[in-house]
A and B are shown apart, each in its own frame.
Chain A
Amino acid sequence: MPTKVIYGLYAEEAALLAATRAARDGGGAIRDVHTPYAVHGLDEAMGLRPTRLGIVCFVLGVTGALFAFGFQSWVFLVDWPLNVGGKSFWAPPALLPVTFEVGVLFAALGTVLAFLLRSGLVPGAAPALALPEVTDDRFALVLDAPDAAAAERARALLLAHHALEIREVEVAA
C-alpha cells in the first residue's frame, strides 16, 4: 500500500545533520536520509542500529577457510594420498596458503553479496524513492507522513530547519 512521505532538500551536511537530529528528538519517523556521500555522524543522528555485516564476513571467512582446509586434507588423506619424495601425506603448513586465499574469497564475495541483497541493490532494481538531485549535490531528509497531522509536523520541522525545498510524494510502503 502506498504511503505518503515528505522530504526536505538541503545543500549542506551541517544543516541536514541538525534537521535529522531535531526530527529524531521530536519523535518524528525518519524514513531515510539521502546523501551524495557518506555523511559522518548520520548513523547517530538517525539512530541506526549497527549493521551485522561484520558477523556475516567473519562467519563466511571461517567457513571458507575450514572448507578449503578440510577439502585439501580429504584429498591427501582419503581420496588420493600423494607420495611426494617420501614426505608426510598430510603436511598442514603446506595447506595454509590455499586455506587463507579461499577464506578471504568467501568472506569478501559473500559480504558483498549480503550487502547488495540486504540493501536491495540488484541489476534492474528501481528504488522506491529516486531523487536525482541527491547523487549530485543535495541532501534529503525523508519523513513519514501517513496522516495529515504527521504531514503538518514534518513540514513544520523541515521549514524550521531551513530546507531549500519541501516536497510530498507517495512511495510504496
Chain B
Amino acid sequence: MSTSYLSDLRRPWVDGDKSLHQITEDVCAPLERGPGLLWWAGFLLSAAVLATGATLVTHQIWTGIGTWGLNRTVGWSFDIANFVFWVGIGHAGTLISAILFLFRQRWRTSVNRAAEAMTIFAVMCAGTFPLIHMGRPWLAFWVLPYPNTRGTLWVNFRSPLLWDVFAISTYFLVSLTFWYIGLIPDLATARDRARPGLRKRLLALAALGWNGSHRTWSRYEKVYLLLAGLATPLVFSVHTIVSMDFATSIVPGWHTTIFPPYFVCGAIFSGFGMVLTLMTVARKVMHFEAYITPRHLDAIGKITLLTSWIVTLAYSTELFTAWSSVNPYERFAFANRLAGPYGWGFGVMVLCNVLIPQLLWSPRVRTSAGLLFVISIFINIGMWFERFVIITVSLHRDYLPSSWAMYAPTYVEVGTLLGSFGLFFTCFFLFCRFLPMIALGEVKGVSGYARKHPDTAAAAPGAALASPTPEAAHAD
C-alpha cells in the first residue's frame, strides 16, 4: 500500500539480485515449458488416489452410509474429523494472504498465491464430507433457504450446522475471489508472453484486459486491503462456527467455551503444517529456491512454533478445567481421553503437536527444508488425530455406560480420506502447471531491483539497465 514505505537498506525478499524480467521468466517458466517427469509422476499418483476415493464415495452413496464403521453411539467420526481437518488447513492460507498483509509482513508475497490456492482446494475437500454424510447428496440443496412448496418451510437459522453452511460457502467464495483478484495482473503477464493461440486467448479472457494502469492498480490495492480486512474476521468466524457444532451440544469433551479460540488456533497451526509440506517440496521441484528462501521458511517455522504453543495451552486448559469442574462426567471424559481405549490417539496428538514442534526453537531446524518437511508431516498427522480425539473419543463413552461403544473405520472411510488427499494434490498439481505459483506483481515490488535507491537512478541517466545494486545496500 502506498501508506507504507520500505527502507532501501532492508534486505530484499528475493535472493540473487534478479531483474524484473528475470522474475517474470522464472515464475512463468513452469507454465511455458512442458511438464517434467516429476510433475507427471506426482499428478498421476494424485489422480489415481482421487479416482480410488471417488469410486469408494460412489459405492457408499449407492449402498448407504452403513458401509461406514459408525454405530448408534458414534454417529460422527471419520467424515466429520476430515471435514474439520480440511477446513483447518485452509485457514493458514487466509492468515498468510489477509492477516500477514494487514501486519505488513512482506515475506508473505512469495508464498501467498500458493497458500491461497491451498485454502481453496482444502475447502473443496472439506465441503465434500458433509455432502457425503448426508447420505442422499442429491438433496443437498435442502440446506439452502429457498421458497418451496412445503409451506414455505425455511431452514433453521438457529442451528450451528446451518451456520456452517453459510460460513463455509462464504469462506469459499471470498477466498476464491481474493485469489482471483490477486491473479489478474499475473494472468496479464502470462497473456503478454504467450504465443498466439488458444492459450493466449484463454489467458486474455481471464486477465480481463488488465494493462497495468496505475489508476487500476491504485483501486486494486484498496480492494485488496478491503478484502484482507473482511477475510480476517471471516476466517475467525469460520472455525468458531465449526467449533460451535460441538460446543453447543451437551457431550462432555465438546461442551466447552474454549472451543472457538482453540479451534481457530488449531486450524492455523495445522494449516501452517500443510504450508510447510507444500512449500518445502514446491521450492525444490519448481526451482523457486531464490523466492522461497530459508528466511521465508524461518518465518513460517516461527508462526508454527507459536501456534503449537497456543494449541498446547488449549490442551492444558481443557484438562485443567475438566479437573477443576468437579463434574464426574467431565472428569471421566478427559480421563478416558488420556487413558481410555483410544489413549494412544491422545499420545499421537501430543507427540506430533506439542513435542515435535519444539524442534523449531532451533534456527538450524527452521531453515532446513528437509527437517521442516519431516516436522510438517508429523503436524499434519497430529492435527488429524486431534480432531479424531475430540470427536470420536468424546462420543464413544458419554453419560450412559450401557450405550458405550467402540468405533473402527472401514476401508471405505479410510479410502475416502485418502481420496480427499488425492483431490487436494490433483488440484494443486494442476495449479502449479497452469497458473503462476508466485505472485509476480507482489514479488517484483519486494525484490532488490525494484528498490534501487532513487539517487542511483537520478545520478546515472541511461544506466537504468546497468548492474544491480551494490552489495553494501543489502545488509540487514
Chain A interface residues toward B at CB < 8 A: 10-15, 17-18, 32-44, 46, 48, 51, 53-54, 57, 61, 71-72, 75-76, 79-80, 82, 84, 91, 94-95, 97-98, 100-102, 104-105, 107-109, 111-112, 115-116, 118-127, 129-132, 134-137, 140, 162, 164
- Among B170, B205, B445, the residue within 8 A (CB) of A124 is B205
Q: A14-B457, A107-B230 are in contact. Are A135 and B2 (CB under 8 A)?
A: no
A120 touches B209 (CB 8 A): yes
* Cβ A119 vs Cβ B219 within 8 A: yes
Task: Specify the chain B residue showing the minimal Cβ separation from A74.
Answer: B154
CB of A104 within 8 A of CB of B20, answer no
7 contacts between A and B (CB under 8 A): A32-B213, A36-B440, A39-B445, A80-B153, A101-B237, A102-B170, A131-B212
Q: Check if B214 sits within 8 Å of A32, measured CB to CB.
A: yes
Specify which of A43, A94, A98 is in contact with B218 (CB 8 Å cutoff): A43
Residues of B within 8 A of A (CB): 1-2, 4-5, 19-21, 24, 145, 151-154, 156-158, 160, 162-163, 166-167, 170, 173-174, 177-178, 181, 184-185, 188-189, 191-193, 204-206, 208-223, 226-227, 230-231, 233-234, 237, 241, 244, 440-442, 444-445, 450, 452-454, 456-458, 461-462, 464-465
Q: Check A36 against B444 for contact (C-beta < 8 Å).
A: yes
Cβ contact within 8 Å between A12 and B21: no
Given that A43-B2, A97-B166, A115-B219 are contacting pairs, would A104 and B233 also be in contact in the complex, using a CB cutoff of 8 Å? yes
A76 to B192, CA, bound (A): 54
Do the beta carbons of B441 and A127 come within 8 Å of each other? Answer: no
CB contacts between A and B, total, < 8 Å = 223
In the bound complex, CA of A46 to CA of B211 (Å): 17
Alpha-carbon gap, A98 to B308, bound state (A): 30
Provide the bound-state CA to CA distance between A118 and B215, in Å: 10
Shortest C-beta distance, B260 to chain A (Å), equals: 11
Tell me the complex Cα distance, A12–B456, Å: 10
Known: A36-B20, A105-B173, A112-B177. A51 touches B219 (CB 8 A): yes
- Which of A61, A76, A121 touches B216 (beta carbons < 8 Å)? A121
Scoring A95, A116, A132, A135 by chain B CB atoms within 10 A of each residue's CB, the highest score goes to A135
Partner of B454, one of A17, A120, A135: A17
8 Å CB contact of A72 from B157, B461, B465: B157
- Decide yes or no: A134 and B158 within 8 Å by CB, A112-B177, A118-B219 being known contacts: no
Known: A108-B177, A122-B208. A98 touches B461 (CB 8 A): no
Q: Which of A46, A125, A131 contacts B214 (CB 8 A)?
A: A46
B227 touching A164 by the CB < 8 A rule? no
5 tightest A-B CB contacts, nearest first? A125-B209, A137-B20, A11-B464, A121-B208, A127-B211
- Complex-state Cα separation, A105 to B234, whole angstroms: 9
Which residues does chain B contribute within 8 Å of A95, judged by CB atoms?
Answer: 157-158
> Are B215 and A136 touching (Cβ within 8 A)?
no
Check A132 against B162 for contact (C-beta < 8 Å): no
Counting chain B CB atoms within 10 Å of each CB, the highest count among A11, A34, A53 belongs to A11
A143 to chain B, nearest CB (A): 14
Partner of B464 from A15, A109, A122 at Cβ < 8 Å: A15
Assess whether A105 is in contact with B444, with CB atoms less than 8 Å apart. Answer: no
Contact B222 A41 (CB under 8 A): no
**Residues of B contacting A124 in the complex (Cβ-Cβ under 8 angstroms):** 204-205, 209
Q: Are B154 and A80 in contact (CB under 8 A)?
A: yes
Indicate if the CB atoms of A132 and B192 lie closer than 8 Å. yes
Once the chains are docked, how many angstroms separate the CA of A121 from the CA of B231? 23
